[in-house]
Amino acid sequence: MNILILGPQGSGKGTQAQLLSGKMGYYYVESGRILREAAKSSPVVDEIINQKGQLLPDEETFSLIKGKLESEAQDLNKVVFDGFPRSFKQYSLLKDWLHSKGTKLDLAILLEIGESETIKRLSARRTCEKCGKVYNLITSPPPKEGCLCGGKLSQRVDDTPEAIKTRLAAFREVTTPLIEQLGREGILIKLNGERPIQTIFRDILAIVQK
């Protein structure tokens, strides 16, 4: 079974995807980490996603994700996707590629949270400058001594309320057609993402095991 966890920024999709992949023993596709890695070696990617805060073109994003799957995933029927695909185009590219491999996306779980909750959560987000691990002062705080790797924690420049609202608008514009398509295919389930982490995870596990 291949599973997509999606939702707006700050919805906790990364946390839930990690918990699920760990519990099920599935390969975890963290699109954010893959793009950050690409930005380190590509000035063009770095300018688009870090300096301008824009989205990478769908084809290029898909190419990076596909490369990771081809080189690292041992079983293309056991994958948890975190935040990818995020657009109708990305889904079409992934769907065709998975079909060529004899598999498909079986389930999509949308974590829904309000704009005010998104701003609250993202404003509390801190990222390790050394290893890239993301913490949240509210939902997943770092250890008292900081990141376990010893790196310095800092706030992203695009985690201000104004920037967050802009990104949310972009998310809704880009992702709404995808959500509608997943609904038409009968593989979309919506969950309230404003509840405690373990409560949401229990619901996700129940859905997957069912």
Q: What is the pLDDT of residue 66?
A: 95
Q: Is the pLDDT higher at 135 or at 203?
A: 203
Q: Assess whether pLDDT exceeds 90 at residue 28.
A: yes
Q: Is the pLDDT higher at 98 or at 148?
A: 98
- From the options 3.30.2040.10, 3.40.50.300, 3.40.50.880, 3.30.70.940, give the CATH code of 2-114+175-209: 3.40.50.300
pLDDT, tens digit (0-9, with 9 covering 90-100), for 31-46:
888 888 888 888 877 7
User: For the chain, which residues make up each domain, given as ranges?
Assistant: 2-114+175-209
Lowest mean pLDDT among 31-45, 164-178, 188-202: 31-45
Q: What is the mean pLDDT of residues 59-73?
A: 92
Q: What is the pLDDT of residue 62?
A: 94
Which run of H or of E encompasses 172? helix 161-184
Three-state DSSP at 54 gives: coil
Considering Cα of 6, then 68, then 65, then 131, what sign does the dihedral take? positive
Q: What is the pLDDT of residue 50?
A: 67
- Phi and psi angles of residue 80, each rounded to the nearest 5 degrees, phi first: -110, 120
pLDDT, tens digit (0-9, with 9 covering 90-100), for 76-127:
999 999 989 999 999 999 999 999 999 999 999 999 999 888 888 888 888 8
